[in-house]
Amino acid sequence: MQSVNKLSRRLGALAVAFMAVAASGGAMAVSPRAAENKVVLIARQDPGTLDYVTSGLTALRLWIPANVVEPLVYFNKDGSVEPGVAESWTISDDKLTYEFKIRQTTFSDGTPVTAEDVIYSLNTMKTSPVGAYASAYNAVTAIEKVDDSTVKVTLSRPSQAFWAGMGSVAGLIQPEAAAASIATNPIGTGPYVLKSYTTNSTFEFEANPTYWGEQPSITSATVRIVTDGTAGLNALEAGEVDAVPVITIDLWEQLTNRELDKKFTLLTYPQIGEPTYAVLNQKLDPELRQALAMTLDRQSYNDAFGAAWGAENTCTFALPNQAWYAPETAESCPYPYNYEEATAKAAAYASTPLEYASLSDVPDLSLPADIMIPAMQGAGFNVTRNAIDLARYSQLIFQGRPPQFDITIMSGDADPAQFACPTPEAAGWSTYCSQPYTDALAAADSAPSDEEYLAKMQEAADILRKDAVIVPLIAKKGVGLFDADLKGFIEPRVLVAIEISKLHW
């Protein structure tokens, strides 16, 4: 009897396996990790540091915010607001005072979340060298304790950026006592604990047993850092990993040629979409910047990626879902591609050495550099390439004071506030510091109506275009591939963070 039962079970298992194979056209459909509620995901870049206060790298923000460290609140796609570290809040009618009631919970290291921790976190982000984070606090005049569970923030004027920041990286809450280890072991109240981070190898996450919310279905997650994009797609196709949440633009043509969009669930989402843009050091002569901008044939970058379906040429630093965005036109490009004129202007700068800092291990940025540098050199500009890896780039370029480059290329958040500069001393790695631009952004931030907000944002966008410091090339979509059985993905709520806790088999 026992042998018959064993045989029956084996036949049943074979039948299930056969149906899975048939349904997938010959490939085993069920991930070997599904039964254990585990996932393996692919990351394309190693951030070099996990200090989200000082680093704005997408490679970091994909995994630490929302998973390990939470903001005060969460903003949902439908416009609703959910509690985070703050269980409730009140906003004064004049929008000058915000009070946050801090939930009674603990950080993953077992220490209680206190009002002092929240005050420390907000003050730390207020002084962040990442302009997009610090700008959320431009109108903040005081951050103070009301009682053991309440923090009050006072503003000098209404600020759209402040409230939005409390649901983004600018509003992440950490324990002050563990701040010294943030670069390697960030601590928060999130649904996961970072068990280990091995440079250029893996992140290992485990469910946080003391998490205040619902325990996640995925109990452990491994994020493998695979800088070779083709290798990452191969691993997905072989069933070694369960998702590649960010398919960088250099892989889009391969993705469709291999019909991976038919074999897996293809998801697009605006949050991970990014403008790709050249950065010309503000110290350079304005006419030199304008001439360099004329060497930029935007269509050549789009063609190189084979990504006409997923990227649009633009001279505006924005994404198509932002109201002030404009595609490339003669009207929207103050210095359109004109190689003949650029060549004529280059003669005056032939003896001016220009160092081009390029990333050697980020293909969707090294490929545009491969196009841009020869074009500038061919026009007669004296450009020398300095190729460095992401970790070194982060130290040398993002933290460099004074800036250690003349020209570079970058892609990142479509947040125009990151280029604001309240004082010259606050100039960031972009070296951009324009009082008219900063003033236009400030006016938009405190605008009483949507119409006035849009008008001021369009004014700011025009200033940015004409200064030829931040020179947009293309606007990219966000693209990800997921195992068909891995469900629950939601569009990122904390900038670009992939919320692993929402996934389930």
Q: For residues 118 and 186, give the distance between their C-alpha atoms in angstroms, rounded to a whole number.
A: 15
Each residue of 195-241: pLDDT tens digit? 999 999 999 999 999 999 999 999 999 999 999 999 999 999 999 99
Q: What is the pLDDT at residue 12?
A: 46
Judge if 89 and 199 occupy the same domain. no
Residue 8 has pLDDT above 60, yes or no: no
Q: Point out the domain boundary residue: 138, 155, 181.
A: 181
Residues constituting the chain: 505
Judge if 150 and 243 occupy the same domain. no
In a domain, 232, yes or no: yes
Q: What is the pLDDT at residue 497?
A: 96
Q: For residues 427 and 22, give the distance between their C-alpha atoms in angstroms, rounded to a whole number.
A: 59
Q: What is the pLDDT at residue 426?
A: 66
In a domain, 455, yes or no: yes
Q: What is the pLDDT at residue 243?
A: 98
Q: What is the CATH number of the domain that holds 205?
A: 3.40.190.10
Judge if 418 and 465 occupy the same domain. yes
Q: Which residues of 390-411 are buried (b: 16+ CB within 10 A; e: fewer)?
A: bbebbebbbeeeebbbbbbbbb
268 compared with 287, residue with greater pLDDT: 287
Q: What angle do CA 487, 490, 492 make, to 5 degrees?
A: 145
State whether the Cα torsion 67-165-125-465 is positive or negative. Answer: positive
Ramachandran angles phi, psi of 397, nearest 5° = -95, -55
Report the pLDDT averaged over residues 283-295.
97
Judge if 233 and 371 occupy the same domain. no
Judge if 25 and 40 occupy the same domain. no
In a domain, 485, yes or no: yes
Judge if 59 and 1 occupy the same domain. no
Q: Point out the domain boundary residue: 127, 147, 181.
A: 181
Q: What is the CATH number of the domain that holds 112?
A: 3.90.76.10
Judge if 156 and 221 occupy the same domain. no
Could you list the residue range(s) of the whole structural domain that residue 409 is in?
A: 274-476
What is the radius of gyration, based on Cα positions, of the chain?
Answer: 24
State whether the Cα torsion 451-165-403-435 is positive or negative. Answer: positive
Q: Point out the domain boundary residue: 133, 148, 181.
A: 181
Report the pLDDT averaged over residues 282-305.
95
Judge if 268 and 329 occupy the same domain. no
Residue 191 has pLDDT above 70, yes or no: yes
Q: What is the pLDDT at residue 29?
A: 61
Q: What is the pLDDT at residue 217?
A: 97
Judge if 410 and 465 occupy the same domain. yes
DSSP H helices in 353-433: 363-379, 390-393
Q: What is the pLDDT at residue 15?
A: 43
Each residue of 402-428: pLDDT tens digit? 778 999 999 888 889 888 887 777 677
Judge if 171 and 126 occupy the same domain. yes
Residue 253, CB-side half-sphere exposure with 13 Å CA sphere: 9
- Terminal Cα distance for the chain, rounded: 35
Q: For residues 406 and 290, give the distance between their C-alpha atoms in angstroms, rounded to a whole number.
A: 14
Predicted confidence band of residue 135 (pLDDT cuts 50, 70, 90) = confident
Judge if 46 and 168 occupy the same domain. no
Judge if 212 and 243 occupy the same domain. yes
Report the pLDDT averaged over residues 118-125.
98
Average pLDDT score, the chain: 90
Each residue of 453-482: pLDDT tens digit? 899 999 999 999 999 999 999 998 888 999
Each residue of 14-57: pLDDT tens digit? 344 434 444 444 444 689 999 999 999 999 999 999 999 999 98
Q: For residues 240 and 260, give the distance between their C-alpha atoms in angstroms, rounded to a whole number.
A: 15
Q: Are 125 and 71 in contact (CB under 8 A)?
A: no
Least confident of 135-149, 218-232, 262-276, 468-482: 262-276
Residue 7 has pLDDT above 70, yes or no: no
In a domain, 174, yes or no: yes
Please count the structural domains in the chain.
4
In a domain, 187, yes or no: no
